[in-house]
Amino acid sequence: MIEDKELKTKIRTISILLFLISLTQKCYCSTSTCGDSIMAFLLGWAAIFTDGTGIAWLANPFLFIAWYTLSRNLKVSMMSSLFAVIFSLSFLLFGSTMDNEGGISHAIISYEWGYKLWTSSCLIMLIGTYYLMMRHNTRAKANKAFSSDAEYL
């Protein structure tokens, strides 16, 4: 059976790789252009103040927190992963976005590989942390049952 430390490393590595690959792809296409993921990552925070779709960018800090805390505090990593997934999927709720400096919103017509890989990166962290928590809780329950049985002998 894979040790938790090794499993944490694999989960974090896969998530980071998906994230880095996503930055090399287009993230969405609107009626005017297709957005580069790297630009959405670098400048997306500004959309929080101008456009509702900017809320999806908040998935990034939560994802970074999840990566950082995975080895330190599994519960924090799990909750951060959950928020990363929620914020990343929130982009699907918007039918248009402001994709240039002109301030005009354009309809989103497709979601490209950059968005899908970025969301997958968040989902991998969420699934991985929940699986690790399940393993931890199962072991704790088994240890508690074993120690309770020992008292009766």
Task: Give the number of other Cβ atoms within 10 Å of residue 8's Cβ.
Answer: 18
pLDDT more than 70, % of the chain = 93
Secondary structure (DSSP) of 48-91: HHH-GGGGGGGHHHHHHHHHHHTTT-HHHHHHHHHHHHHHHHHG
- CA distances to 26, 103, 137, 152 from 84, in Å: 20, 27, 23, 46
**At residue 1, does pLDDT exceed 70?**
no
DSSP state, 94? -
Quickly state the pLDDT bin for 143 (edges 50, 70, 90): confident
What distance in Å separates the CA atoms of residue 44 and residue 105, rounded to the nearest whole number? 15
Rounded to two decimals, what is the model's pTM?
Answer: 0.88
If one compares 22 and 47, the residue with the highest pLDDT of the two is 22
Average pLDDT, rounded, for the chain: 90
Name which residue leads in pLDDT, 43 or 120. 120
Confidence of residue 68 (pLDDT cuts 50, 70, 90): very high
pLDDT at 30: 92
Distance CA 72, CA 48 (A): 30
Q: Looking at the predicted structure, is the pLDDT value of residue 153 above 60?
A: no
